[in-house]
Amino acid sequence: MARRPSLKRPLIVKTLIYQLLALLVAFFALLMVLVRADSGGYYTIQTFAPVAAEAVHRDSTGELYVEHTPELSELLKIVPGAWFIAEDEHGHHVTFGHVPPAYASLVGALDGIPYGDLRGRDRSDGLAVAIRQHSGPAGKLTIMAHGETDSLTWQMALAAHIITLPIFLLLGLATLILTPIIVRRALAGVERIAQEARNISASRRGIRLTETAVPVEIAPLVTAVNEALDRLDEGHERQRRFIAAAAHELRTPIAILRVKIDATDDATSRSLAVEVARLATLAEQLLDLHRMEEAGPKDSLNLARVAKRVVADLAPLLIQSDKTVAVAVEPNFPVLGEAGAVERVLSNLVLNAAEHGGRHIIVRVQGSCLEVEDDGPGIPVDQRERVFEPFQRLRPRQTGAGLGLNLVRQVIDRHGGRVTILDAPGGGALIRVEFPLHPGVSSAPPSER
């Protein structure tokens, strides 16, 4: 079986992919901006300025001169073309190495520039300088120096990683966590609509899907489903009215036919009487289906009283058919139901047992259940669901309209109960009907009356 497409999964996965791609693009874009901000030039490492300050001394006349210190000699080995200009606050200055012509004009004018960096495009052009103020043997000096050079590109890239990577990792983690939550909340209306749809059944018509608080994209589907349910209810109502009208119309000719058959006393008439009785039962059961649709409100019911009343009404008919019936009342609870509908359920079960079971029938009340037990051949396990379908009989030549158990199932479904067929302890069939307890008396002690 092909796997059904999911709406939620693609939304979550695709949203996550797009957001993570956007974060990666933003990360690398920021990295490129930071690297670009470096301009790609070379700068003089600022450790040369202190070395230069330590190499400058002052003679007896106050003039500055350069003395080759070990540190300066080591630096010259690394950068033979190193140079610097040193100047004090009184305008005395000294130069070391070959000062490029571009900076020669700054000799004697550094006192007003305490800090600065000038970059060069090439390591060997001698133009990358650092301007710093340092104190040495000659006192406080402003140094412009060109020494060992480096580029900030990789440092900027590393700084970008150190600063931005945790931020983007947190954003990515937040995306992974929040996106599924947001999508699920956005589709919560769909789950609610699905739950409402599960509550719709043939016995609970009139329910419609809520059209408010539904995503705009799904609203047309919900509206279309509600319109389809309206049409189905209208069709069901027309069919129900037709069946009720037909059953009413059949009662009169059936009654006339029975009177005429009863007036004769031959074998053919007696055979016809059985078929007419079957037809009358069918018409009555069709009317029962109609009455069930118009059942009154449910209330607290005493099943023991219902059982005794129904058995008392049916006893003459059962005795005439050479059947016996007994009522066994065990501890029971009040249940929630409509009295007329429950009485019709029990009547159908008793008549069904009388027609298809044996000679002895027991109506038992126990807890919130009604049980009708007979000593007939029973109902095979593989047929126990089929007999609840309309016009279904275990044996085709059996009498009966085939609507009794179907009526029972429909009534019990409307009551929120359950009907099951079991094997009777002594053989035969046992049909158990379970009703919901009345909420106001669910904890009341059992009654045997």
C-alpha to C-alpha distance for 92 and 141, rounded to whole angstroms? 10
CB contact at 8 A, 244 and 286: yes
For the domain spanning 200-294, the CATH number is: 1.10.287
Looking at residue 1, its pLDDT comes to: 44
**Nearest-CA neighbor of 8 among 194, 182, 223, 192?**
182
Tell me the pLDDT tens digit for each residue of 228-262: 888 888 887 787 777 667 666 676 777 777 777 77
* DSSP code of residue 445: P
Q: Give the model's pLDDT for residue 39.
A: 54
Q: What are phi and psi of 425, to 5 degrees?
A: -55, -35
| pLDDT at position 444 | 45
Alpha helices in 140-218 (DSSP H): 153-186, 188-198
Average pLDDT over residues 202-216: 75
- Report the distance separating Cα 169 and Cα 32, nearest Å: 18
In the predicted model, is pLDDT for residue 365 greater than 80?
Answer: yes
Average pLDDT, the chain: 77
Question: In the prediction, which pLDDT does 445 show?
Answer: 46
- Would strands 324-332 and 360-367 be described as parallel, antiparallel, or unpaired? parallel
Fold for the domain defined by 296-441: Heat Shock Protein 90 (3.30.565)
What pLDDT band is residue 204 in, cutting at 50, 70 and 90? low
pLDDT higher than 80, residue 96: yes
Confidence of residue 23 (pLDDT cuts 50, 70, 90): confident
For the segment 254-304, what is each residue's pLDDT rounded down to a tens digit? 777 777 777 776 766 666 766 666 676 666 666 666 666 655 567 888 999
Percent of the chain with pLDDT over 70: 73
Q: What CA–CA distance (Å, rounded) separates 171 from 233?
A: 52
Domain boundaries, the chain: 8-39+154-186, 42-151, 200-294, 296-441
- DSSP characters over 300-324: EE-HHHHHHHHHHHHHHHHHHTT-E
**In the prediction, which pLDDT does 430 show?**
93
In which band, very low, low, confident or very high, does the pLDDT at 312 lie, cut at 50, 70 and 90? very high
Q: What is the pLDDT of residue 36?
A: 61
